Amino acid sequence: MQEFSEFEPLLSRSVQEKNLEFQRHGRLKHLIAASQLTPELLEKLCRSADLIRRLSRNPEGNRRLRDLLAHKRAMLYFTQPSTRTFLSFMAACQILGLSCNEVRDPKTSSEVKRESRMDSIRMFSSYFDVIIMRSQISNFAECCAYLMSDLERQERRSVPIVNAGAGSDEHPTQALLDMYTIIRTFDFDENSESRPSRLNELRRSFPSLICGPSQKTYTFCGDIGRGRTVRSLATVLSQYEGTRMIFVSPEHDVLVMDEELRQRLKMTGVEFYEVNSLDAEIDGESVLGQTDCLYMTRIQREHNSKDTEQEIAEIDLSPFLLSPQRVGVLKSYAPILHPFPRDSVVGEIPTSIDSDPRAMYFRQARNGMWARAALLVHLFDAADSLFFAYSDVFRSPK
């Protein structure tokens, strides 16, 4: 796109070079790509999210949270339709005391007067302390981060950019909340003060089971080719030791894994498989039987051309839909995740499964509020203040 042509040399750099530019003194300056979410950073963010969750349940803790970033302002620039991402960011800002404004339709901004998108972003940075943006335009958030970096080098006002979904490329904050859900689930209550650990009990049936995301098999099912949530989560999981991935999708060019993700996983040495049914077998064992975490997605029909819609309408989707029988094959601890929205017509996850204790998708959505609040705390370097607030509220009586 002509508007972003000046950033082309930067866009073509390696992931490592980009990630270095998007951090400062070992801390995120912008969150643009899932590859920035290293296991070490995720450990810090998940710890902060846990503190925020517990503080929010306490009246004094709630008050301390609202004071934490009360001096900051956030712009939610969401020009692509969104429900959960927008509302969870709004809720996260409210929890931390940030005041918020929003632009959800470019027709209500000066872009209708032919103002460039980059000028709009720079104007937002004049009034707000963080810009959280979702756009159908690929690389837009990344270019905005480069603009902010240029301004910082010129010693002009610069603010963090948070990519809340960019085109079909990335959705790093979804990967963040997905990982928070996975990490909490695979903790098996080891760190709980009120409940005994489940791990010893589970090891009677699964002797090699360990805590944490490592040494697990993750199965992704549905629209793999266009699923930016799948791409982002797979990128993060590839950093964990012993990760295996199985991708289940109809055999259609737009639905199967794209070559970029395939090559990315090969480069990182991840063991992965591509199959065309949830009932498929790998090495003589059913896919669902060897799955530690199942990540379901819907077919993203809003991206279909007329011809593609007709082609997909003729596909038998039954091999890609959950049923009580298929859920019964899953391991007793295996969480079922979904980035939402789910398709109420196709029914990739029927509502009858919602009551299964492994159905974690509504909890996953709620976790987005805590995980995104933790991200804001990190971006504003307020983790120490959060810890001190937690210590004050919950310090042991003398």
Interval 373-398: pLDDT, tens: 999 999 999 999 999 999 999 985 54
Query: Would you state the pLDDT for residue 113?
Result: 64
Query: Would you state the pLDDT for residue 181?
Result: 98
Instruction: State mean pLDDT over 312-336.
Output: 96
Query: Would you state the pLDDT for residue 398?
Result: 45
Evaluate whether 36 touches 19 at the Cβ level (below 8 Å): yes
The CATH code of the domain at 173-364 is: 3.40.50.1370
Strand 271-275 and strand 99-103: the pairing is: unpaired
Q: How is the chain split among helix, strand and coil, in percent rounded to 5?
A: 45, 15, 40
Query: Would you state the pLDDT for residue 109?
Result: 67
| Token pair in block for residue 250 | 């109809």
CA angle 233, 52, 131 (to 5 degrees): 60
How does residue 308 score in pLDDT terms, banded at 50, 70 and 90?
confident
pLDDT tens by residue, 161-193: 999 997 667 899 999 999 999 999 999 976 666
- Fold match between domain 2-170+367-394 and domain 173-364: yes
pLDDT tens by residue, 229-241: 999 999 999 999 9
Alpha-carbon gap, residue 313 to 254, rounded angstroms: 13
Answer whether residue 310 shows pLDDT above 80: yes
Among 244, 245, 219, which Cα is nearest to 335's? 219
Instruction: State mean pLDDT over 93-118.
Output: 84
Protein fold of 2-170+367-394 = Rossmann fold (3.40.50)
Domain ranges for the chain: 2-170+367-394, 173-364
CA angle 365, 80, 162 (to 5 degrees): 65
- Classify 281 in phi/psi space as left (phi over 0), alpha (psi -120 to 50) or beta: beta
pTM of the model: 0.94
